[in-house]
């Protein structure tokens, strides 16, 4: 990279458009926290456009310690059906055009496919501003978990229409690149994720916390961190833990997070340990105090929790998809099985629970591998893909994409 190129990037103005943003707790908000923090540290000007949420901290995030943006524009937010703690944003293309004529960004990054994202893409295209999108959520896969699988093709078509109106769609893994290309989304760019290995570390293991979970000595803490929702395939995690407990009665299932399934799970499994949403150092202590990490999701585009668990020195069991497909090497630093092998998922967890030497070897290697996954290199890759100072935005007015199924 030349000094001239580096200097020009330091003075770019990027607008990030998202339905969710810190201090909310989810994978997209976590990714955007690191992205904005990294861009600000590299002296870019960052503007955030987001809907009004229930809990807001302007400019700063608890435990982040640094400003995440230069400016923000908050639009009307309405509850997202089924996700009372989230909002989708409402604004108009005209309003964004007026805003960007006054304060024109060099590039726009859209992290939502909702109405706010559509308005942002429309405005960027109208003004000829380079606009990229992020494939952060597999909404088309969610449909099968909510009894509306017949909508999957329609959602695929909508996703293709939306992303193909941007200059490039950023995806987190090579496997997800294959998925999006199969959907007809082009072009795509690979932008992976990092992990904060200073925050997430085995050294933060807390024996007092483990004791509060009812664990002593070498008792196993089976950990799940994430949203308690149907699309996370929690049914598999529950089945897996119950099999483990059948052989290891002193094991405990610890769930960190919140969501629509929490009440049902608590009523059915009163002996499970529900820790609610954890942040910052408290979250790091919960990770480090576990032993075996279950990631049963088949819908995530990445899954930052996989890297956080690895950095914390946990043995991860996952399906060969998303982050696991990229970073888990089977029986070396974790365990992974094909997407259609539910029984294999359970068998891997049972092996780790039964074989302390295998468990400890995988835990140690997971931590070592996580140390190579830093965020600064990912921020630099984002700059390369989304911040191209001399590249005009594509202006497709005469070549609009059709919304057809395949």
From first to last of the 406 residues of the chain, give the pLDDT tens digit: 444 344 444 589 999 999 999 888 888 999 999 999 999 999 999 999 999 876 654 554 444 445 899 999 999 888 776 666 667 898 999 999 999 999 999 999 999 999 999 999 999 999 999 999 999 876 545 455 555 556 778 888 999 999 999 999 999 999 899 999 999 999 999 999 999 999 999 999 999 999 999 999 899 999 999 999 999 999 999 999 999 999 999 999 999 999 999 999 999 999 999 999 999 999 999 999 999 999 999 999 999 999 999 999 999 999 999 999 999 999 999 999 999 999 999 999 999 999 999 999 999 999 999 999 989 999 999 999 998 644 444 433 323 333 322 2
The per-residue pLDDT for 62 is 43
The per-residue pLDDT for 373 is 94
Q: Which positions ≥6 away from 324 have C-beta within 8 Å?
A: 295, 303, 306, 316, 318, 334, 336
Q: Which positions ≥6 away from 138 have C-beta within 8 Å?
A: 299, 300, 301
The per-residue pLDDT for 52 is 84
Domain with CATH 3.40.50.2000 in the chain: 3-194+376-386, 202-373
The per-residue pLDDT for 53 is 77
Q: Is 241 left (phi over 0), alpha (psi -120 to 50) or beta?
A: alpha
Question: Which of these CATH numbers, 3.40.50.10490, 1.10.3660.10, 3.40.50.300, 3.40.50.2000, describes 202-373?
Answer: 3.40.50.2000
Q: Are 228 and 257 in contact (CB under 8 A)?
A: yes
Q: Is 317 left (phi over 0), alpha (psi -120 to 50) or beta?
A: beta
The per-residue pLDDT for 140 is 45
The per-residue pLDDT for 151 is 74
- At the fourth CATH level, which superfamily is domain 3-194+376-386? Glycogen Phosphorylase B; (3.40.50.2000)
The per-residue pLDDT for 67 is 83
pTM (2 d.p.): 0.87
């Amino acid at each position: 990279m030349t000094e001239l190129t580096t200097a020009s990037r330091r003075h770019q103005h990027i607008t990030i458009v998202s339905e969710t943003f810190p201090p909310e707790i989810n994978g997209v908000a976590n990714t955007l926290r690191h992205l904005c923090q990294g861009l600000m540290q590299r002296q870019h000007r960052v503007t955030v456009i987001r809907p009004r949420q229930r809990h807001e901290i302007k400019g700063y995030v608890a435990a982040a310690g640094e400003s995440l943006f230069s400016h923000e524009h908050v639009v009307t937010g309405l509850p997202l059906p089924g996700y009372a703690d989230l909002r989708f944003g409402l604004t108009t293309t005209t309003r964004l055009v007026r805003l960007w004529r006054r304060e024109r960004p060099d590039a726009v990054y859209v992290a939502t496919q909702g109405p706010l994202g559509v308005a942002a893409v429309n405005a960027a295209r109208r003004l000829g501003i380079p606009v990229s999108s992020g494939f952060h959520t597999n909404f088309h896969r969610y449909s099968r978990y909510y009894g509306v699988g017949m909508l999957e093709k329609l959602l695929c078509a909508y996703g293709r229409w939306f992303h193909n109106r941007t200059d490039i769609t950023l995806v987190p893994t090579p496997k997800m690149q294959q998925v999006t290309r199969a959907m007809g989304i082009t072009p795509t760019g690979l932008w992976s994720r990092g992990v904060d290995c200073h925050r997430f570390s085995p050294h933060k293991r807390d024996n007092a916390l483990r004791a509060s979970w009812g664990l002593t000595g070498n008792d196993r803490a089976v950990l799940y961190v994430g949203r308690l929702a149907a699309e996370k395939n929690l049914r598999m995690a529950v089945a897996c833990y119950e099999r483990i407990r059948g052989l290891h009665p002193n094991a405990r299932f610890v769930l960190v997070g919140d969501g629509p399934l929490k009440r049902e799970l608590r009523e059915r499994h009163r002996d499970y340990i529900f820790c609610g949403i954890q942040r910052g150092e408290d979250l790091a202590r919960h990770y480090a105090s576990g032993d075996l990490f279950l990631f049963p999701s088949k819908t995530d585009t990445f899954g930052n929790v996989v890297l956080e668990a690895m950095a914390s020195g946990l043995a991860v069991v996952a399906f060969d998809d998303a982050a696991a497909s990229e970073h888990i090497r089977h029986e070396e630093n974790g365990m992974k099985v094909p997407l259609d092998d539910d029984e294999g998922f359970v068998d891997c967890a049972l092996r780790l629970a039964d074989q302390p030497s295998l468990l400890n070897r995988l835990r140690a290697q997971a931590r070592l591998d996580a140390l190579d996954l830093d965020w600064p290199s990912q921020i630099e890759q984002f700059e390369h893909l989304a911040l191209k100072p001399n590249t005009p935005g594509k202006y497709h007015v005469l070549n609009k994409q059709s919304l057809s199924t395949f």
